């Protein structure tokens, strides 16, 4: 097998991967970097983030406030040492991006402007109109071009991590242009491959969000942490699930039911006022707002449409000028995709799967339990998001922990990981190739990729959605376990080598099934309600038994093994989450 030898291999070239690559290049320009991605960097899903990135910069704000908002927003499942690192570092990261050319929206004075966001006590969300992720990604991609040591391997699909004696020594990837599998022999590997929202049918995620890096780490022996915590964003467009940014509500949009009533006032989220009040009503956290939709639906107060039940997002009172300036993409998306003009019309929306709080288990150094293996961004769980991520913390997370992963990988390969003893790597790579070849060359299969994917999608939505029960989760677990077993009966029809998406989709389905299984089993075992994980049969948070991270381990068998890890608490003891009234 062709072998590419590099100091550090990075899997994924979205926000986290690019930031990690730049951190490595800046730490030591003599180190070689292989930046491997199944898509060109600017196609990565960071591109779709809209609203902004939170970081304390204004004089009325404090680092402690951002810390508290994040910890409480995560329903105390966050690791507070990680949150401390995050809130302290993010203002510097956002400023650095400013120096790199990010076109942040500005105040008249020329200073960076901030906007309100859900669950945040003070306005602290930096934004570039409503295309913040797009601008962050492109700024990072373009800046990365400056560093000659960053060698990109665009459109390479990574398949397996090489792990021997508890140390990661590389990764195999298929060059999609030729179909040839190559081995990247590396002293350290950083996974920045994003989330896996495509395990659900109705999602804001792009088609590439199939959890490949999560599954790869999981199969290599790293536990996936808190996978049952899946964020529904309250405002997705019908049919496509296209996201309308929380920035809409930050700018003052209302959520109303079929009677035009601002229903959030019925759910302990404060009283309706004409202009936005921080941490109140429409600026409550995403988990609570998505749960309110479900409650309204049960009361029959949502709007029936051919595309399912909806509520309305009302932006009309903001006026065309402000909408053009602050939310231009929202206007375009609504007009193009559902033929509704938010300037004059109510916009139908419903909750949509958006983000995975869980992911590859790392410590605050972005290090996994496997030596030389790091992870950052949505694929990782460090964990600053706990049971519910606050809007505008994910773009910050990929910057802060992407950079930390890069710097720590450098430190590692200069110390403990200096010598790469990769004697067994060739054998591991051959095993990886044999695994993929078996899938590729199989001729008689009774199952189809799209068929199994649909079943998996429906199963998770039915059993592991906004509200969950023991009975439904048991069904979901059984079904996912069954679909995973049937996966071996899939055969790839396309036997050609060049850009074979039939093969790639098949491998992606394998990743998604692993991810789906950890979500369903994690949810079944967590007998409490916390943040985005709501159990109708266990409606209360249970700090005695579940102030713990779920650790899901790959066993090679039909089902995963689950154990738990204590949450790290530094200064904030678990308390009631309070929105819309004084704390």
Applying CB under 8 A, which residues contact another protein?
39-40, 42-45, 47-48, 92, 95-96, 98-101, 103-112, 131, 134-135, 138, 142-143, 145-146, 154, 177, 206-208, 239-240, 242-243, 306, 329, 332-333, 336-338, 448-450, 492-494, 496-502, 505
Cα–Cα distance for residue pair 223/78, rounded to 1 Å: 17
| Helix (H/G/I), strand (E/B), else coil: 568 | coil
For residue 476, CA distances in Å to 143, 151, 464, 470 come to 44, 42, 7, 10
First and final C-alpha spacing in the chain: 61
Q: Which residues contact 15 (CB under 8 A, 6 or more apart)?
A: 44, 46, 133, 136, 137, 140, 192, 377, 395, 398, 399, 402
Shortest distance, position 19 Cβ to another protein, whole Å = 14
Whichever of 100 and 267 has its CB closer to another protein, that residue is 100
Shortest distance, position 441 Cβ to another protein, whole Å = 16
Q: Is 533 an annotated catalytic residue?
A: no
Which structure tokens are listed for 397?
């997370």
Cα–Cα distance for residue pair 518/225, rounded to 1 Å: 9
Shortest distance, position 200 Cβ to another protein, whole Å = 15
CB count in 10 Å sphere of residue 143 = 18
How big is the chain by its Cα radius of gyration, in Å? 23
Shortest distance, position 154 Cβ to another protein, whole Å = 8
Shortest distance, position 172 Cβ to another protein, whole Å = 22
Active-site hit among 19, 45, 152, 233? 233
Cα–Cα distance for residue pair 61/222, rounded to 1 Å: 38
Whichever of 103 and 369 has its CB closer to another protein, that residue is 103
Smallest CA-to-CA distance from 134 within 238, 196, 210, 206 is with 206
Which structure tokens are listed for 284?
């409550």
Whichever of 151 and 548 has its CB closer to another protein, that residue is 151
Whichever of 103 and 300 has its CB closer to another protein, that residue is 103
The answer to whether residues 160 and 432 touch, using CB atoms and an 8 Å cutoff, is yes
Active-site hit among 66, 115, 138, 249? 249
CA atoms within 13 A on the CB side of 355: 27
Whichever of 15 and 270 has its CB closer to another protein, that residue is 15
Q: Is 249 an annotated catalytic residue?
A: yes
Buried b (16+ CB within 10 A) or exposed e, 222-258: bbbbbbbbbbbbbbbbbeebbbbbbbbbbbbbbbbbb
Cα–Cα distance for residue pair 511/291, rounded to 1 Å: 28
Shortest distance, position 240 Cβ to another protein, whole Å = 6
Whichever of 143 and 511 has its CB closer to another protein, that residue is 143
Shortest distance, position 420 Cβ to another protein, whole Å = 30
Whichever of 492 and 516 has its CB closer to another protein, that residue is 492
Q: Which residues are catalytically annotated?
A: 233, 249
């Amino acid at each position: 097998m062709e072998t590419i030898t590099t100091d550090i291999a990075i899997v994924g070239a979205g926000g986290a991967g690019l930031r990690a690559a730049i951190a490595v290049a800046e730490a030591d320009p003599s180190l070689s970097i292989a930046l491997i991605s199944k898509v060109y960097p600017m196609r990565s899903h960071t591109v779709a983030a809209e609203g902004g990135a939170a970081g304390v910069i204004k004089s009325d704000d404090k680092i402690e406030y951002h810390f508290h908002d994040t910890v409480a927003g995560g329903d105390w499942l966050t690791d507070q040492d990680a949150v401390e690192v995050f809130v302290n570092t993010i203002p510097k990261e956002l400023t650095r991006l400013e120096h790199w050319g990010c076109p942040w929206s500005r105040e008249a004075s020329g200073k960076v402007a901030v906007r309100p966001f859900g669950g945040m006590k003070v306005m602290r969300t930096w934004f570039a109109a409503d295309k913040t992720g797009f601008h962050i990604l492109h700024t990072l991609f373009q800046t990365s071009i400056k560093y000659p040591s960053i060698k990109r391997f665009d459109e390479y699909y990574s398949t397996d991590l090489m792990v021997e004696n508890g140390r990661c020594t590389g990764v195999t990837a298929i060059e999609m242009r030729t179909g040839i599998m190559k081995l990247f022999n590396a002293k350290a590997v950083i996974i920045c491959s994003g989330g896996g929202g495509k395990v659900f049918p109705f999602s804001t995620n792009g088609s590439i969000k199939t959890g490949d890096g999560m599954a790869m780490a999981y199969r290599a022996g790293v536990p996936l942490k808190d996978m049952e915590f899946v964020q529904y964003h309250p405002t997705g467009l019908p049919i496509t699930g296209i996201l309308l940014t929380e920035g809409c509500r930050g700018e003052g949009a209302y959520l109303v039911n079929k009677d035009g009533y601002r229903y959030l006032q019925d759910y302990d989220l404060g009283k309706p006022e004409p202009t936005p009040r921080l941490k109140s009503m429409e600026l409550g956290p995403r988990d609570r707002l998505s749960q309110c939709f479900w409650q309204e639906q049960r009361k029959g107060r949502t709007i029936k449409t051919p595309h399912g039940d909806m509520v309305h997002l009302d932006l009309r009172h903001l006026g065309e000028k402000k909408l053009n300036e602050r939310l231009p993409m929202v206007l375009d998306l609504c007009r193009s995709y559902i033929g509704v003009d938010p300037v004059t019309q109510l916009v139908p929306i419903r909750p949509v799967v958006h983000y995975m709080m869980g992911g590859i288990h790392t410590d605050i150094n972005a290090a996994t339990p496997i030596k030389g293996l790091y992870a950052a961004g949505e694929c990782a769980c460090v964990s600053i998001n706990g049971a519910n991520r606050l809007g505008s913390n994910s773009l910050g997370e990929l910057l802060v922990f992407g950079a930390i992963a890069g710097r720590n990988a450098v430190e590692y390969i200069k110390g403990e990981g200096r010598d790469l003893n990769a004697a067994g790597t060739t054998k591991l790579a051959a095993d990886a190739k044999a695994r993929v070849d078996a899938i590729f060359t199989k001729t008689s299969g009774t199952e189809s990729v799209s068929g199994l994917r649909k079943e998996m999608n429906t199963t998770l939505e039915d059993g592991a959605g906004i509200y969950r029960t023991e009975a439904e989760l048991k069904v979901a677990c059984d079904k996912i376990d069954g679909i995973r077993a049937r996966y071996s009966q899939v055969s790839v029809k396309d036997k050609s080598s060049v850009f074979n998406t039939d093969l790639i989709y098949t491998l992606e389905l394998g990743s998604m099934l692993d991810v789906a299984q950890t979500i369903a089993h994690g949810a079944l075992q967590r007998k409490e309600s916390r943040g985005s994980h709501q159990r109708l049969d266990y409606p209360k948070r249970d700090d005695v038994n579940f102030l713990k991270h779920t650790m899901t381990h790959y066993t090679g068998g039909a089902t995963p093994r689950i154990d738990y890890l204590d949450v790290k608490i530094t200064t904030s003891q678990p308390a009631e989450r309070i929105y819309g009234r004084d704390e």
